[in-house]
Amino acid sequence: MRSRKLIVLLVLAIMLASACSNSGGNSKSTSNNGNPSDEPQGTAAGTSQTEGTRWDPFGKFEEPVVLNIAKSINTNAFTLPNGDTVEKNKILDFLAEKTNVEVKYAWHVETPDAYDQKLGVSIASRELPDAFLVNESQLKTLVKADLIADLTETYNKALDQRFRDFYDSFGDRVLKRVTFDEKIMAIPNTSLAGEHNLLWIRQDWLDQLGLQPPQTVDELSAIAKAFIEKDPDANDKKDTYGLIGYPWSPTYGFDSILGAFNAYQGKWLRDDSGNLVYSSTLPEMKVALGKLKEMYQEGIIDPEFAVRKEPRELVSANKAGIVFGAWSFPYYFINDSIKNDPKAEWKAYSLPLDAEGKYNVTDQNPTNSFLVVRKGYEHPEAIAKLLNWTAGTEEAKGIYPEVQLDSIWDYWPIKLVVDWEDAAYRWYELLKQAIDEKNPELLKNDYSDNSGWYNNYITNLDNPKKDLNAYLDVLARLEGVAQQGDSNLNITRNAFFGQTPTMERKGAILFKLEQETFLKIILGREPIEKFDSFVAEWKKLGGDEIAQEIEQEIGQ
């Protein structure tokens, strides 16, 4: 099951990442709707052909350019056909043909941990590859040490317009993370919006008991209690659960319940007065913890949630009908539920709501990986040309026609996923339009072909649930993603996603204190008043120091 989940998530990432890929040597840029525009690309006015080729996003260097990179790649996960290797393969040949950039490896390792260790040694010794990926802490270190190149000109002149459109969809929340003294020092990746948890609930159980979807936390509690006591699966056994999950799991956490009280865990926010605050220490969190404690004491929350290793087993066995998860939840949670009971009907809702009728969530970190170039490298624009020809194009799909594109994704020299912030919802709207107009061609553009979603919709329409993969596609993309457009959705923006020196030293201690205190309160092992002493201790152990560091970094 674990390997199946990883495969599905990788396929999803590739399908979404394909929207940012160019096809077949087409030098067009894209407009904000993802379709080709007529804006010309190529030699800039007043420059020589050599200079123009240098900045043409899809132009080849006139002379070969060597780019030495570093990379983490698990070669055991997939072996290239025909004896090809990391250092010598058709992908590198393809890119060399299109760009005249010869990619070589300064070094490569098998795991992310080994990469960080090796990169740490490279940074300390100042023996850097020409281009490499770093995290935000490493980026700041390299900028401070003046070891990496200014990529402002590369970004503005050599990177294809569609990439800049992708970044623009985030406002300034991505580019400002790589801008130092008004210089763009890295090309960042992006993370999709809309990954917040939704309420996934068994609609057939609601119908069986004559219930409506819960609008409030109290109504959710009432429904969970009914699912426990009123035999929603009609098997004459008391063997079903109420609310399952773990309070702070990124996969099936209770943050939707916290949001109903305007509470959020582990976020740095600005309050109404503009002050920087840590959300876990606010009074709203105390109220929310009190409610979770009440729900646990009443048996509404799974009595064994604190020790249960895998809540999904209850979903798979159709013993639970309420769980929180992202829009992609069906692919790795609901699949076994349907296999074991084809009558199971799951629906997604942006619920429960707060007192003002809002569904409160926080945004996700919009970027966490950064492509940098060592200072002194003569052709920093080479990285832009490689990105412009990244995986997902029709020509790229033909490099190894005998294998799936996602199988060779790790072998691309620069693995940087960039897309619209709302890419999932954009594709949902196109899918709806394709269905309404019976035209799957709407799901194709110069950079991707997602007409398979339309085909799966038709397959499932003709024979519901017979093809499980088709059904899961419909459930995720037409039920789950649709919630990103819910009129009640209220997104609170994080003020800070990075790491400060004190976070690096004391973050683990503070996190453990928070998790243990909150869990003990919910389980009834500590009174709710324990929250107040937790706040004081958290601030004393380093929380106030971290707040000061963040203020110094981002300012008012």
What is the per-residue pLDDT across 142-173, written as a single tens digit (0 to 9) for each?
999 999 999 999 999 999 999 999 999 999 99
Measured distance CA(76)–CA(110) in Å, rounded? 8
22 pLDDT higher than 80: no
Please give the average per-residue pLDDT across 449-466, as a whole number: 95
How would you classify the pairing of strands 359-362 and 268-270?
unpaired
Question: Cβ distance 385 to 57 under 8 Å?
Answer: yes
Provide the token pair at 408. 């060779």
H-only helix segments in 18-101 = 49-55, 90-99
Q: Which residues pair with 370 in a beta bridge?
A: 134, 188
CA 69 to chain centre: 25
CB atoms near residue 102 (< 10 Å): 16
Provide the pLDDT confidence category of residue 456 given band limits of 50, 70 and 90: very high
31 pLDDT higher than 60: no
List the one residue out of 70, 62, 65 whose CA is nearest residue 101: 65
Q: Over the stretch 238-247, which tens digit does the pLDDT of each residue have?
A: 999 999 998 8
* Amino acid symbol at 247: P
The per-residue pLDDT for 391 is 55
List the one residue out of 135, 143, 60, 75 whose CA is nearest residue 105: 75
438 pLDDT higher than 50: yes
Which runs of E-coded beta strand occur in 60-154?
Answer: 65-72, 101-109, 131-134
Please give the average per-residue pLDDT across 169-187, as a whole number: 96
Question: In whole angstroms, how far apart are CA 281 and each of 174, 277, 539, 543?
Answer: 27, 8, 9, 10
Measured distance CA(514)–CA(497) in Å, rounded? 18
36 pLDDT higher than 90: no
Question: Cβ distance 65 to 130 under 8 Å?
Answer: no
Compare 307 and 26 and report the one with higher pLDDT: 307
Measured distance CA(289)–CA(245) in Å, rounded? 15
546 pLDDT higher than 70: yes
The per-residue pLDDT for 531 is 98
Pick from 38-52, 200-214, 419-433, 437-451: least confident: 38-52
Please give the average per-residue pLDDT across 39-58, as a whole number: 53
Measured distance CA(256)–CA(483) in Å, rounded? 13
* Angle at alpha carbon of residue 127, lines to 125 and 130, rounded to 5°: 150
Please give the average per-residue pLDDT across 91-108, as a whole number: 95
List the one residue out of 441, 545, 438, 496 whose CA is nearest residue 173: 496
List the one residue out of 489, 486, 465, 463 whose CA is nearest residue 475: 465
Compute φ and ψ for 394, nearest 5 degrees: -60, -40
Provide the pLDDT confidence category of residue 51 given band limits of 50, 70 and 90: low
Compute φ and ψ for 58, nearest 5 degrees: -115, 15
The per-residue pLDDT for 45 is 31
What is the set of domains in the chain, with CATH numbers? Answer: 2-193+367-411 (3.40.190.10), 198-363+493-498 (3.40.190.10)
- CA 495, 497, 498, 502 torsion-angle sign: positive
Provide the pLDDT confidence category of residue 21 given band limits of 50, 70 and 90: very low
Q: Over the stretch 382-397, which tens digit does the pLDDT of each residue have?
A: 999 999 987 555 677 7
pTM for the whole structure = 0.86
Provide the token pair at 116. 């960080």
Compute φ and ψ for 256, nearest 5 degrees: -65, -35
Half-sphere exposure in the Cβ direction for 233 (13 Å, CA): 20
The per-residue pLDDT for 208 is 97
% of the chain with per-residue pLDDT over 70: 89
Measured distance CA(152)–CA(24) in Å, rounded? 27
% of the chain with per-residue pLDDT over 90: 79
Per the listing, tokens 């790589």 go with: 178
- CA 217, 222, 223, 224 torsion-angle sign: positive
Coil, helix or strand for 302?
coil
Question: In whole angstroms, how far apart are CA 488 and each of 175, 310, 351, 363?
Answer: 29, 31, 9, 15
Largest Cα separation within the chain, whole Å, is: 82
Measured distance CA(507)–CA(545) in Å, rounded? 11
Provide the token pair at 472. 């899961």
Residue 120 CB partners (closer than 8 Å, separation 6+): none
Question: Cβ distance 57 to 28 under 8 Å?
Answer: no
Provide the token pair at 405. 């594109």
How would you classify the pairing of strands 489-492 and 359-362?
parallel
Provide the pLDDT confidence category of residue 35 given band limits of 50, 70 and 90: very low
Q: Over the stretch 109-142, which tens digit does the pLDDT of each residue have?
A: 999 999 999 999 999 999 999 999 999 999 999 9
Q: Starting at the earlier edge strand, list the strands of the sheet with 370-373.
A: 101-109, 65-72, 131-134, 370-373, 187-188
List the one residue out of 99, 186, 184, 82 whose CA is nearest residue 134: 186
The per-residue pLDDT for 14 is 35
The per-residue pLDDT for 8 is 34
The per-residue pLDDT for 50 is 57
Measured distance CA(284)–CA(303) in Å, rounded? 24
Measured distance CA(429)–CA(477) in Å, rounded? 10
Please give the average per-residue pLDDT across 485-500, as a whole number: 95
What average pLDDT is seen over the chain?
89
Measured distance CA(512)–CA(173) in Å, rounded? 29
* Angle at alpha carbon of residue 200, lines to 217 and 521, rounded to 5°: 45
Provide the pLDDT confidence category of residue 54 given band limits of 50, 70 and 90: confident
Q: Over the stretch 396-432, which tens digit does the pLDDT of each residue have?
A: 777 888 877 777 888 999 989 999 999 999 999 999 9
Q: Specify the DSSP element, H or E, that contains 444.
A: strand 444-445
Q: Is 262 left (phi over 0), alpha (psi -120 to 50) or beta?
A: left
* Amino acid symbol at 430: L
As separate numbers, helices (DSSP H) first and strands (DSSP E) second, the chain gives 23, 17
